[in-house]
Structure 1
Amino acid sequence: MTQAASTITLSQLESHLWKSANILRGPVDAADFKTYIFPLLFFKRICDAWDEEYAETGDAELALFPKSHRVQIPDNCHWNGIRAVVTNVGNALQRIIREIEKANPDTLYGVFGDAQWTNKDRLSDALLKDQNEHFSRISFGNKNITSDVLDDAYEYLIKKFADATNKKAGEFYTCPTWSRSTVQHHSRHRAPRWRRNCWHWITTRRSCKSAVNASRRH
């Protein structure tokens, strides 16, 4: 069951996210944790924010209109759907995130990266089910987790991933849809503006292009 909406502290979120990384430990090399953790985090955040918007409309029919939501989630592509899958979970997950990208071409194209979700040598059905259930324990909606807390938790993960692989944190700052030059230009700075914009972009109407342009002005 997903935890009822209540404000999550930074320490609670950090602990929760690091546990999600540890679920992967063994089959997945530490250097690849971010390849899988961040897409799941984005996916869960998007769906929980969509649920909040649905509830806020107060009208079941109106809530289904595209304009009622910042991000469009196609039929059978909600987080709850992937929780119900018990076999070939990776295939189902890969299909769902691609459908969400296609439904939001101006804002989410490429945000989920190119992780090989169908590789059962790394990601067995049992492992992915455990991971999905772990993420499902809390709501990642805006009411439950503020953008600032989520932003700080992202930075915490970047540092933990870097420590686990003896790399510099700057090497892990990444947003899949942005160019390498943009990442390299801003990775020298703590909490770069381009990365902070990524979280707001996930749950606002700002496009990736506008976020990149904004980052280049600072």
Structure 2
Amino acid sequence: MIEAVIGLAPNLFYGTGLAACILVLRKRKPAERQYKVMIADASRLFRRGRAQNYLEPEHAQQIQGWFQNYQAVQDAVRIVSLDEIKAEDWTLNISRYVLPPLTEDIPPLPEAIAAFKDALARCREAEERLAKVMSEGGWLK
């Protein structure tokens, strides 16, 4: 009966920062949609507000277009078979099927590891300085 799972941006609804999810259920799916589920990540479609984010009409139209076309869209929509869902232990977690696009600013792995090690060393130095200051001040024994 599940025809689509559409993940929305966080903080769209007053009083909650959680990301909402739309489930489209249909008792009698069209034949071409039988044994399939559309998984869509629409979490990037919003306008940022001060206290709340907003889903603009053009965002809603794009989501509606995805649903009407019921076809894969790179980095946003996948049409998943029930066999694939079964292989994922029946989870409908969107990130299992649709991954966010990789940005071009991701460094090569050796650079990322070097940067991580450098940041870790700086963190340890800061912890040692803090421990020394706290010991000298009498806060640590």
Smaller-chain TM-score range? under 0.3
Higher relative contact order (CA 8 A, sep 6+): 1
Alignment TM-score, normalising by the size of structure 1: 0.20
Alignment TM-score, normalising by the size of structure 2: 0.27
Whichever structure has more strand as a proportion of its residues is 2
State the structure with more CA Rg: 2
